[in-house]
Structure 1
Amino acid sequence: MIEDTKDLILEIQRNFPKLSKGQKLIAQYIVEHYDKAAFMTASKLAKIVGVSESTVVRFANALGFDGYPQLQKGLQDIIKIKLTTVQRVEMSRDYFGEEAILKKMFKSDIDNIRATQEAMDFKTFQEVVDKILKAETIYIIGLRSSTALAQYLGFYLNMIVNNVKIVGYGISDIFEQMLRVSDKDLVIGLSFPRYSNRTVEALKYAKEQNATIVAITDSFMSPIYGLSNYCLTAKNNMASFVDSLVAPLSLINALILAVGMREKEEITAYFNKLEDLWDKHNVYDNEK
């Protein structure tokens, strides 16, 4: 099995001389059109290239994969990182028919949540909950499309503990907002393709200050994985120019709930006080 799917295209090129004639046709097509091949079934790829479906399977085996689905996943991991937004739009046009959008997107999100649950390391999850409760200050950073996730996590964590700081674009620079980060603090970084370089830089700074770092990202290929002390992964396999953050949001919900259950008595009193405040200032519509 190829360890780093970032090098999959290079691996195909390396193995090219050893491939059969039919396999070389597949290899050439994938190298030139990996963005399209990533979402083709084995039978569709075989038909386009002009070989048998079994030749496609043997091609995957020749590269060290157990089967075509593993090769396909490797290609999908590549396009998360390499495709521009324009290329994603073109890919969406090929992948979706207007009638298929609802069905395919719902299925994709369901598959992502299921894969996230099955791959979750519960011990790491518990350790992250421990670190959240023990940290002096919790810094949360997520930029670009991950901004919504960071804001959501920060909003609810701030209801449970009172030491949360959401880092983002504003009057102060990101590094100014993290100036006082120390080894007593926890920094939670959220980053999904296309990964924000600014998030990576901020986590590198936090690591230099010996802060504990939790990465919430899509895979071990993510640039923030290597910077983290703990990593929680949530799948977001995309087939469009829209970043699917359904599985990451589900993971964040579980994390918030787990922290809340540890602080059950404290947050009950806190929420009672909040309800009084909300009623007094008519924050919510309470009309029956």
Structure 2
Amino acid sequence: MSDSPAARLQQLFEGHRLTPTQRRIAHCMVRRAADAPFLSSVELAELAGVSQPSVTRFAVALGFDGYPALRRHLREVAPAGSTADDNSLNEYQQAVLAEMENLRQLSELLADPSLVERAGRTLAASPVLPVLGLRAASSQARGFAYFAAKVHSDVRLLDEGGTMLADRIDASVRAGATALLCFALPRHPREVAEALAYAGSAGLTVITVADSAFAPVAKDSDILIPAAVGTGLAFDTACGPMLLGRVLLEAMCDDLPDAQARLEEFDTRASARGLFVE
């Protein structure tokens, strides 16, 4: 069992029926797992974009008398020597170290590969594979679709919103799609949640890579695999979701019997065309 701060928080929240506002607080705490034991209720409310009374109700929903009791609990289980910040490092170094921690947490999650393997089998079994990612997540979706197209016969990138998004999902279903892969990163566009709900109603199995198990898209996902984003810079960093996308590609390839042959065929054609500078 993982003993990282984020993993302990996830375990604390599991089994509780949380409201959307409370899930937002939980999501914020997981993203700031190292700082969580040291945040006041006012600071946490500010970070999560909720009211201070909401933080108090959140603590009570978890079974504590109030937020001070929750914070005492988090401090008691925090690793020895934990501190809110390391002021000896500049903001760029802290951002890099935070991403390293995100990747470490992802590694711990993958210690049990069953969920990723199930997702890989589901993706491989879909004759047509739509890959959805809007706004901040569009680059993750595009990267996955680029590589997936080398081993899968029909990959359809859905990286633009608008009224045609549902039409493109319908077209994928008509062509034989049984699953949809989504990359969902903050801030979560309303269109993504609506598209996943629509995909589910159309009979697709929805597999989502999200920044948290408490992301707004969780309720419309059949399989959700979390990979935290870095929040220390002006714009979020997404090393974890990108790497998780490559892991899913690997799992999908493992269930595509002709994946290796397709890759070798591509290499042969690329060499004949002089496609790459060696």
TM-score, scaled to structure 1: 0.67
Which of these residues, 39, 57, 74, is aligned with residue 67 of structure 1?
74
Runs of at least 5 residues in structure 1 that lack an aligned partner in the other structure? 12-25, 37-57, 72-94
CA drift of 1:147 comes to 0.5
Asked if structure 1 preserves the Cα contact closer than 8 Å seen for 2:127 and 2:153, the reply is no
Which of these residues, 94, 105, 114, is aligned with residue 123 of structure 1?
114
Alignment of 1:146-185 (within 5 A): 146-169=137-160, 173-182=164-173, 184-185=177-178
Distance 1:67 1:266, change over 3 A: same
CA drift of 1:153 comes to 0.8
- Structure 1 SS opposite 2:138: helix
Per-residue deviation, residues 211-232 of structure 1 (Å, max 9, x unmatched)? 1110110222111111111111
Which of these residues, 94, 108, 111, is aligned with residue 98 of structure 2?
108
Per-residue deviation, residues 240-273 of structure 1 (Å, max 9, x unmatched)? 321111011111111112222333x623322232
Q: Counterpart in 2 of 1:138?
A: 129
Q: Counterpart in 2 of 1:193?
A: 186
- Structure 2 SS opposite 1:67: helix
* Alpha-carbon separation, structure 2, partners of 1:101 and 1:64: 26
CA drift of 1:98 comes to 12
Per-residue deviation, residues 44-64 of structure 1 (Å, max 9, x unmatched)? xxxxxxxxxxxxxx9855237
Letter in 2 for 1:115: Q
Q: Counterpart in 1 of 2:217?
A: 224
Per-residue deviation, residues 169-203 of structure 1 (Å, max 9, x unmatched)? 28982222212343851111111111111111111
Distance 1:186 1:32, change over 3 A: closer
Pair 1:30 & 2:21 matched: no
CA drift of 1:152 comes to 0.8
CA drift of 1:66 comes to 2.4
CA drift of 1:114 comes to 0.9
CA drift of 1:279 comes to 2.4
Q: Counterpart in 1 of 2:274?
A: 282
Asked if structure 2 preserves the Cα contact closer than 8 Å seen for 1:204 and 1:227, the reply is yes
Letter in 2 for 1:152: G
- Structure 1 SS opposite 2:233: coil
Letter in 1 for 2:275: V
Asked if structure 2 preserves the Cα contact closer than 8 Å seen for 1:181 and 1:206, the reply is no
* Alpha-carbon separation, structure 2, partners of 1:9 and 1:218: 12
CA drift of 1:105 comes to 1.6
Per-residue deviation, residues 68-121 of structure 1 (Å, max 9, x unmatched)? 4999xxxxxxxxxxxxxxxxxxxxxxx999971332122111100111222345
Asked if structure 1 preserves the Cα contact closer than 8 Å seen for 2:24 and 2:214, the reply is no
* Alpha-carbon separation, structure 1, partners of 2:109 and 2:164: 36
Asked if structure 1 preserves the Cα contact closer than 8 Å seen for 2:193 and 2:217, the reply is yes
> Over aligned residue pairs, what C-alpha RMSD do you find?
3.5
Q: How many residues align?
A: 226
Letter in 1 for 2:95: M
Distance 1:192 1:8, change over 3 A: closer
Asked if structure 1 preserves the Cα contact closer than 8 Å seen for 2:95 and 2:233, the reply is no
Asked if structure 2 preserves the Cα contact closer than 8 Å seen for 1:234 and 1:247, the reply is yes
Letter in 2 for 1:30: E
Q: Counterpart in 1 of 2:253?
A: 260
User: Which stretch of structure 1 is more off in the superposition, 234-243 or 143-152?
Assistant: 234-243
Distance 1:254 1:66, change over 3 A: same
